[in-house]
Amino acid sequence: MIRLSGIAKSFGDNTVLDGVELNIAEGRVTALIGPSGSGKSTLLRTANLLEMPEAGTLEIGDARVAFAPGQRPSQAEILALRRRTGMVFQNFQLFPHRSVADNVTEGLTTVWKWPAAKARSHAMTLLEKVGLAHKGDAWPATLSGGQQQRVAIARAIAASPTLLLCDEPTSALDPELAIEVVDVLRTLAEEGMTMLMATHDLRLAAQIADHVAFLDGGQIVEEGPPETIFRTPTDPRTTRFVGTLLGAAGGT
């Protein structure tokens, strides 16, 4: 179980997360939805401490970190938690000067100290999984956006993380390229990968997530199965937001 309890985060006088409580069951996919500025991306980034909460606790497997104003967790605590997560960014974040395969092996060799041959073999297996084994020696700049994001997914899962974090994984892609990424994420979900994703993509959340949490004003307003949140929400704010997404998606 992954638990975020009482998570609070402010930027200056702006409270972005206000005591958020969220449990993520192992092997399940949770989608964070909400308007821009609702706190969903910040909440996602607190799960691997790219954003440091000011209060609350975070548990991923047997790693637990508590936060308090003016106190920073130790580097050992931070690393122990980060090593249990993989991150997929909106804008791919591939190393442009490294080949596709080297992008996947980088963390394995530098952080986990894998031998280069073992890391390369594992990288090629993962690239085959995302349909890009034939691009192992290519440069990222020669790939489409969908291909780059699939490489980023392979990199994120290379060390078999407890939790895969996806920050708007399809928002920078044209619809036809987004389908490639959705298919890969769906396969990972079917294989039991635990995921937390922030997304505006209603179809991504509906097709992959087991659980949806709607955020507004730094709090989880409503959460539940996707069919409930998207079809019969109970909070007026959720109803308005989902209605806006459905209208933009042409009634999906």
End-to-end CA distance of the chain: 32
State the pTM of this model. 0.94
Per residue of the chain (252 residues), give pLDDT as tens: 899 999 999 999 999 999 999 999 999 999 999 999 999 999 999 999 999 999 999 999 999 999 998 889 999 999 999 999 999 999 999 999 999 999 999 999 999 999 999 999 999 999 999 999 999 999 999 999 999 999 999 999 999 999 999 999 999 899 889 999 999 999 999 999 999 999 988 888 999 999 999 999 999 999 999 999 999 999 999 999 998 876 666 555
Residue tagged 């769906």 (tokens): 186
**Nearest Cα to Cα of residue 160 among 58, 85, 78:** 85
Look up residue 237 and give its two tokens: 């704010």
Cβ–Cβ < 8 Å for 226, 180: no
Look up residue 175 and give its two tokens: 């619809």
Say how far apart CA 155 and CA 214 lie, in whole Å. Answer: 28
Cβ–Cβ < 8 Å for 156, 93: no
Say how far apart CA 197 and CA 53 lie, in whole Å. Answer: 18
Walk me through the domains of the chain, giving residue ranges and CATH numbers.
Answer: 1-84+163-252 (3.40.50.300), 86-160 (no CATH)
> Half-sphere exposure of 151 toward its Cβ, with a 13 Å CA cutoff?
32
Return the DSSP state at 71: B
How far apart, in Å, are the Cα atoms of 75 and each of 100, 116, 156?
30, 27, 21
